[in-house]
A and B are shown apart, each in its own frame.
Chain A
Amino acid sequence: MSVRAAAATKRQESGTRGLSPDAGQELLQILVDSVKEYAILTLDSKGYVTTWTPAAERLTGYKAEEILGKHFSVFYPEEDVSAGKCERELEQATRDGMVEDEGWHIRKDRSRFWASVAVTALKSKDGTLRGFGTVTRDWTGRRRTEDKFRAFLESAADAVVIVNPKGEIALVNSQTEALFGYSRAELLGEPVEKLIPERFRNQHLGHRSGYLAHPRPRAMGAGLELFATHKDGHEFPVEISLSPVETEEGTMVTSSIRDVTQRRQTEEKVRRQAREIMEMATVPVVQVWEGILLVPLIGMLDSARTQQFMERLLQSLTQTASPVAVIDITGVPTIDTQTAQHLMETIKAVRYIGAEVVLTGVRPVIAQTLVHLGVDLSATTTRASLAAGLRVAFSLLNLHVAAETTA
């Protein structure tokens, strides 16, 4: 059936406003002929080409006389034809009224182009199938863009997950599969919350709508520590950047996900080292001689300081293999029960690792307090002044050295 006839039928059905029938037809014909991007043509009910347009000629290379009466499957690649794609399109169009598809089409010169096709069933008022109208658009450019886009996704270092406005995963790259342990098929169509630990899922729903309200490229969850869930259930820390993409289906959100387990561990290590450096500054351990470490304590010994102090002193003693530790308490103003207890524990611990303690700077008032507290320092060498203490330390060291040489 020609366009003219179709147009006439349509006019009968709907009525064209204000134009004479012929003028209307002419306009329609001009429209169809002028449309450059879309090739509009009609087929009969069996799929044979019944009308042709200049745009269709430009698109496929066939002249009208070469193509009229031929079956529209000439536009399709062999593999699609043998798979029955053409029959299926016609069947679907007949059943649903219209079908849209994308796929490769073949030109007269056997070259390919990526086509977006809409096939509409043309029926008369009583429902009889008269034929089909097809609108074909060359989307090769878009296809190449899509391929480029996919290649770009796959080449990305991070896992990329693209989510549709409903929160379902629309696209992932292979890094996502590797990072989360799921195959593509297990993720597509699933809610993105599948990748988040359960306890954060509800919150995330809220965050998603918040983002869609003001979509812009930014990092996700600034200031928060984010976690993701692997297929096997274990969690790992991540950093995520978000980017909105406007599409026909609405605002899609691209998220780029990076596993920062390694980085967190390094950060943790750095933090710990910084803390250790801080501790060194507050509790200095000085090597006054090979084999003798001096710790000048200043201020009160609370639990936290004692712990730091004990650890540092013991560490230093073992590392330097020093047999003598001189602990000077000249700078400790008063001794209360807690300080005394901490001091005793420190001395005991030093002995356990195999070193000896000389306690110096025990002023009269301190000596008094210690006796009153019932602290038993009989097993420890103590001296009032640092100088006297160091003398003892050296003699202990000599004994130590002497013992080694005689053995």
Chain B
Amino acid sequence: MNVLGHGEVKITVESDIAVARRAVREVAMQIGFGPTEVARIVTAASELSRNVHKYAGSGVMQWHAIENGSNGGLELRFEDHGPGIADVSEALREGFTTGGGLGMGLPGAKRLMDEMEIQSALGQGTKVVVRKWRRQ
């Protein structure tokens, strides 16, 4: 695998969530994240892939190894053409629930990662980007 690179995992069936987790774990370890950081990143990736599968049916996760000066990090992008989120700030509020259980997992993913950006609107699909930097 090319560490200084990028890749993607298509999310079409439920088992792809686990595929995405495995891919992210591999990359995160290669970039040099410690075990707890890896756990955080993979858990966030699991939540966000699950969102794609649950709300849009299918989509894609892309990963990019990123650099900020001399520090390395990992960026994950989740894109789907699903129904979209009507109110993003509402979805980010702790405890927000749309249906069944723990809601969209966005607040959790945000907590686990360093940066999060969401682009979404009703009927226009959703794009979520998260980043984590190595601790120095």
Chain A positions within 8 Å of B, measured between CB atoms, are 197, 227, 233-235, 268, 272, 275, 304, 307, 311
Contacts and interface: CB of A to CB of B under 8 A. Distances in A.
Interface string B1-12: 111110000000
B34 A272 contact: yes
A235 B2 contact: yes
A227 B4 contact: yes
Contacts of B135: 275, 304
A235 B4 contact: yes
6 contacts: A227-B4, A235-B3, A235-B4, A272-B34, A304-B135, A311-B36
Contacts of B4: 197, 227, 235
Contact of B2 (A233, A268, A272, A311): A233
B32 interface: yes
A233 B7 CA distance: 14
Interface in B23-54: 32, 34, 36
Contacts, number: 15
A235 B36 CA distance: 27
A235 B5 CA distance: 9
Given A235-B2, A268-B32, A307-B36, 10 more contacts: A197-B4, A227-B4, A233-B2, A234-B1, A234-B2, A235-B3, A235-B4, A235-B5, A275-B135, A304-B135
A311 B34 CA distance: 11
A326 to B, nearest CB: 23
A297 to B, nearest CB: 19
Contacts of A307: 36
A272 B3 CA distance: 19
A397 to B, nearest CB: 27
Contacts of A275: 135
Contacts of A272: 34
Contacts of B5: 235
A211 B3 CA distance: 30
Nearest to A279: B135
A304 B5 CA distance: 28
A304 B36 CA distance: 13
B94 to A, nearest CB: 11
A344 B32 CA distance: 29
Interface string B109-134: 00000000000000000000000000
Contacts of A304: 135
A159 B5 CA distance: 25
A138 B3 CA distance: 54
Nearest to A227: B4
A181 B135 CA distance: 35
Nearest to B70: A225
A272 B2 CA distance: 23
Nearest to B37: A307
A233 B36 CA distance: 31
Contacts of A234: 1-2
A231 to B, nearest CB: 13
A275 B37 CA distance: 15
A235 B6 CA distance: 13
